[in-house]
Amino acid sequence: MLNDSIRVFAPASISNVGPGFDIMGFALNEPGDEIILRKRKDRKLFIKKITGTSVELPYQPKLNTATAGIINILKEKNLDYGIDVEIHKKMGIGSGLGSSAASAVGGVFAINELLSLKLTHYELLKYSLVGESIASKAIHADNVAPCLYGGFILVRSYDPIDIVRIEYPKNIFCSIVYPGIVIKTSEARKLLSKMVSLKKAVSQAGNAAGLIAGLMKNDMGLIKRSMVDHIAESKRSKLIPYYDEIRKAAFNAGAMNCNITGSGPSMFAFSTSRHEAEKIAAAMSAVVLGFGHECIRYISGINSKGPKILG
């Protein structure tokens, strides 16, 4: 690009996806974050504005998920550019919808486009994970990869990192309810057991394989049977006071599943039409409202493109 500024959108994402703990995720059409970069005449990088959140985010570039990856790119590529950055959060922090991943991806995607660096998705993934690790205190790509690549993603390996795009039914819709409570990824991970029994490991592997096969074969029954997590969800469900009630409401409304996304508190459910998805989302959100908590609901297909340039 020859312009001196760029504005990009980076989408939210659903991670874990039932049995896919730390290895599966898919991108959403909405919500997402907007990142604006403007070239400076000097070589300094500043975060000039952060909007859309009541949570205090750091203005120090090395400590912010949106700019840490940018710093690494400029340093490793020996690029003498100064950049002003604006971060406009369009979703809740600690929502389970990949807020930090969207900012991290948005930053590196934007600098790549602004400076016409022509970095590959695989290279951008490495820099995005630098930013994501600031928020989550760990390297995991099940939000970052789908946000960056779009579509449904399998993280086959972390050492070395190996990303596989999975075909999926194009008529699948996702209902999401985001309750007005905050769960930090770093805190939610502390609840997880470091050891898993052989029985649970075998069952988890079977469900993960079944989910991938169901997606690729367009087999909704197999997808439904496979959306069971034996590792994380039973632990993290305790952080959501109305977890069981939301699941019951979703299934009664016709959902194929109802699971926590990421660390929560957001929960999601699959269906095969927008009409069904709206009905399910309304039922799920009614539970949260009935408990006296605010909530936001989203309806989305799977976003096949990932981040995009807005201007």
Q: Which residues are catalytic?
A: 132, 185
Residue 197 tokens read as 């029994």
On the CB side of 92, CA atoms within 13 Å amount to 21
Return the SS3 of 38.
Answer: strand
Phi, psi at 269, each rounded to 5°:
-145, 145
Contact 275, 111 (CB under 8 A): no
Radius of gyration of the chain, Cα coordinates, nearest whole angstrom: 19
Question: How far apart (Å, rounded) are the C-alpha atoms in residues 259 and 278?
Answer: 17
Strands (E), 78-170: 82-88, 152-158, 161-166
Provide the pairing of β-strand 45-51 with 82-88: parallel
Residue 310 tokens read as 């807005």
User: Which amino acid is present at 210?
Assistant: G
Is the sign of the CA dihedral 127, 132, 133, 135 positive or negative? Answer: positive
Question: How far apart (Å, rounded) are the C-alpha atoms in residues 162 and 156?
Answer: 5
Contact 33, 44 (CB under 8 A): no
